[in-house]
C-alpha cells in the first residue's frame, strides 16, 4: 500500500505486452490495486495501467469525473473508480472520434488521437467477477487509452500527424489563438 513511481516513455516495460492475471483474488494483485489507487490519487490522473508502475500485468483502473462531461456534447455519466482485469474491448459501430490525450507516462505533453467513439468492454472486477459495460465519449477513450498500455502502446504512437503532438501548455496557447481568430 504505497505510492509508486510512474515510469515514463522510454522505459522498456511500457513497450511490452502485459501478462494475463490468472487469479485476481491473489493477495499480490490486491496489493497491486492498492498501489494503483494510491498512485493515481497522488498523480491526480483519471486512469492508470499496471505497467505504468512497472508491473507487467493486465490490470487497469480508471474513473470519469463529472466535470469531464462538459468536454463532450454527447457525454456519458460520471463513472466511479473501476478496476478492469484482463480486459477485452470491442468497438460498437464504426464511428471514430478525435480528441487530445495526455498520459502520466508522457508528462507535460498532449496529442490528438483517433479512437472508437462507442465500445463494449469486458473483463474481471477487483473480486474476479466478470462484467461488461458499454461506453462512449470520454469514458470510451479512457478505457482504450488504458488498455493500450497493456499491449505496449503509448498514445503518441497513435498520433497521425506529429504536428498534433506537443507540450500541453504550448498547444493550449495555439488553440486559444485559433478560437480568437
Ligand atoms: Ni497513459
Taking the centre of ligand 1 as the mean of its atom positions, its distance from the CA of residue 13, in whole angstroms, is: 13
Residue 108 — left, alpha, or beta (φ > 0 → left; ψ -120 to 50 → alpha)? left
Res 44: pLDDT: 92
pTM for this model (two decimals)? 0.92
CA 180 / ligand 1 centre spacing (Å): 31
C-alpha span between 167 and 165 (Å, rounded): 7
Q: Closest Cα partner for 57 from 81, 31, 80, 82?
A: 31
**Residues across the chain:** 181
Annotated catalytic residue: which of 98, 146, 169, 178? 146
77 given a catalytic annotation: no
Query: What does the pLDDT read at residue 65?
Result: 86
Positions of E strands within 33-140 = 47-49, 59-64, 79-91, 96-103, 106-116, 118-124, 130-136
Look at residue 140 and tell me whether its pLDDT is greater than 90. yes
Q: How far is the CA of 181 from the centre of ligand 1 (A)?
A: 32
Q: What is the pLDDT of residue 133?
A: 97
| pLDDT for residue 73 is more than 80 | no
Average pLDDT, the chain: 92
In angstroms, what is the span from residue 22 Cα to ligand 1's centroid?
24
pLDDT tens readout for residues 26-38: 999 999 999 999 9
Q: How high is the pLDDT of residue 66?
A: 79
Digit-coded pLDDT (tens) for 75-89:
557 899 999 999 999
Whether 67 shows a pLDDT value over 90: the answer reads no
Amino acid at each position: 500500500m504505497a505510492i509508486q513511481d510512474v515510469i515514463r516513455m522510454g522505459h522498456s516495460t511500457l513497450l511490452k505486452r502485459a501478462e494475463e492475471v490468472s487469479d485476481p483474488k491473489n493477495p499480490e494483485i490486491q496489493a497491486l490495486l492498492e498501489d494503483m489507487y494510491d498512485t493515481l490519487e497522488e498523480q491526480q490522473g483519471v486512469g492508470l495501467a499496471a505497467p505504468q508502475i512497472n508491473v507487467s500485468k493486465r490490470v487497469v483502473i480508471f474513473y470519469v469525473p463529472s466535470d469531464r462531461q462538459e468536454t463532450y456534447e454527447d457525454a456519458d455519466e460520471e463513472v466511479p473508480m473501476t478496476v478492469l482485469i484482463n480486459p477485452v474491448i470491442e468497438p460498437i459501430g464504426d464511428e471514430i472520434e478525435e480528441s487530445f490525450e495526455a498520459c502520466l507516462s508522457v508528462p507535460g505533453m498532449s496529442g490528438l488521437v483517433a479512437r472508437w467513439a462507442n465500445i463494449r468492454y469486458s473483463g474481471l472486477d477487483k473480486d474476479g467477477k466478470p462484467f461488461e459495460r458499454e461506453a462512449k465519449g470520454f469514458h470510451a477513450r479512457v478505457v482504450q487509452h488504458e488498455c493500450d498500455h497493456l499491449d505496449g502502446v503509448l498514445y503518441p504512437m497513435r498520433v497521425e500527424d506529429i504536428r498534433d503532438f506537443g507540450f500541453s501548455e504550448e498547444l493550449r496557447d495555439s488553440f486559444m489563438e485559433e478560437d480568437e481568430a
